[in-house]
Amino acid sequence: MTNTLHRYGDAESFRDDYIIFAIPCKGKNDEGSVEKLKTFLRICASHKPANMGNSQFGSYRPSQELKPTVHWSREVSVDYDAVIDAVHKAGTVAAVFDSSEKAEACLREVKEADLGLSVNVSTSVQGAKNLGECCGIQRHSVEYSLGFTDPHDHLPNSQVLELSTMCGHGMVSFNMARKMLDMVREGRRTTDQAVATLARFCPCGVYNPERAKRLLEDARTHQA
* Interval 62-84: pLDDT, tens: 566 656 666 566 666 778 998 99
Residue 145 counted as domain residue:
no
Provide the domain limits for residue 174: 3-140+154-221
Q: What is the mean pLDDT of residues 23-46?
A: 93
At residue 48's C-alpha, the angle toward residues 36 and 99, to 5°, is: 110
Lowest-confidence region among 38-52, 65-79, 89-103, 136-150: 65-79
pLDDT at 49: 95
Residue 146 counted as domain residue:
no
> Is the pLDDT reported for residue 165 higher than 90?
yes
Residue 148 counted as domain residue:
no
Question: How confident is residue 30, by pLDDT bands cut at 50, 70 and 90?
Answer: confident
Q: What is the mean pLDDT of residues 116-143?
A: 91
pLDDT at 224: 47
Give the whole-number percent of the chain exceeding pLDDT 90. Answer: 58
Q: Is the dihedral of CA 172, 16, 185, 158 positive or negative?
A: negative
Residue 149 counted as domain residue:
no
44-to-40, 137, 144 alpha-carbon distances in Å: 6, 18, 25
Q: What is the mean pLDDT of residues 149-159?
A: 82
Question: How confident is residue 142, by pLDDT bands cut at 50, 70 and 90?
Answer: confident
Residue 123 counted as domain residue:
yes
The helix-helix angle for 100-113 and 33-46 (nearest 10°) equals: 150
pLDDT at 78: 79
Question: Residues in the chain, how many?
Answer: 224
pLDDT at 197: 87
Q: What is the mean pLDDT of residues 145-149?
A: 77
pLDDT at 67: 65
Helix, strand, coil fractions of the chain, as percent rounded to 5: 45, 10, 50
Residue 147 counted as domain residue:
no
Residue 8 counted as domain residue:
yes
> Is the pLDDT reported for residue 138 higher than 90?
no
Let me know: does 8 contact 68? Beta carbons within 8 Å. no
pTM of the model: 0.89
Residue 170 counted as domain residue:
yes
- The domain total for the chain is 1
